Amino acid sequence: MKVHHLNCGILHVPPNPQAACHCLLLDIDGRLVLIDTGIGLEDIARPLERIGQPAIDAAGFQFHEPLTAARQVERLGFPTTAVSDIVLTHADPDHAGGLADFPSAAVHISAEEHTQLTKGHWRYSPAQFAHRPQWSTHHTSSEMWFGLESRPLLIPDADVRLIPLFGHTLGHCGVAVRNEGRWLLHVGDAYYLRVELSTDDHPVSALAAVRADSDTLRKASLSELRRLARHHAAEIELFGYHDCSEFPPDAAAG
């Protein structure tokens, strides 16, 4: 399995620094698995309909077609139909915008997140799901992963798991991927910046608290990530969705 780190969008509200949309693309002998989808082609074509001006202004959505997951998949030499599975950490507009560019893919999501989405929670954009994604919902599991609940996904020839890290949304999950004897843990928005692993005093912590559906659960999830970073750094590589500094040196961070 080859792992590609892709920046599938840019968010920028000056004078704050740019934020990335850090997605993963797993190449399993030419069959592709995308973890989060970034800003999509339909978002660029119809931003007001699909995202809305208030959300665009609040998050600082930038619209660059070459950064979309669809265009990056094509630049790597694959048709978009090669994406067989998509795994969502959660369904916020900057994470789910590219879903419509891969309509035949199975979309893996926690059952809790899917419930909030279908209930019409204010934070989600219904237009981004109007194409009727092929949902694959994953419920509570008795399996454990480094002391956390693990929900394995049935993706052939790959060990990929949803790891509940609730708080930012009520169904938010990290995504763990086994690769070359180590684990990658995409923590989604369980932290915005890596500095949150070491302090609660950074200004971004206040933003994270405001954006959380449950700040109590967010803090508990962040505490678990700090534990993993302290005690399992040799076994697990953690990274989030928005911190531009977390891309590998050979990745195109946009």
The residue extents of the domains of the chain are 2-246
Task: Find the distance separating the first CA and the last CA of the chain, reported in whole Å.
Answer: 24
Q: How far apart are CA 226 and CA 14, in angstroms?
A: 29
pLDDT at 69 over 80: yes
pLDDT in tens, 130-167: 999 999 999 999 999 999 999 999 999 999 999 999 99
**Is residue 65 within 8 Å of residue 8, measured between CB atoms?**
no
pLDDT at 254 over 90: no
**Is residue 240 within 8 Å of residue 22, measured between CB atoms?**
yes
Continuous H helices in 76-202: 93-96, 111-118
pLDDT band, residue 251 (cuts 50/70/90): confident
Q: How far apart are CA 154 and CA 163, in angstroms?
A: 14
How far apart, in Å, are the Cα atoms of 102 and each of 16, 125, 167, 229?
Answer: 32, 17, 28, 34
Q: Kindly state the average pLDDT of the residues 46-57.
A: 98
Q: How far apart are CA 140 and CA 150, in angstroms?
A: 8
User: Residue with structure tokens 């074509």?
Assistant: 45
Q: Domain spanning 2-246: which CATH class is it, in words? A: alpha beta
Q: Which pTM does this prediction carry?
A: 0.97
Most distant CA pair in the chain: distance in Å? 45
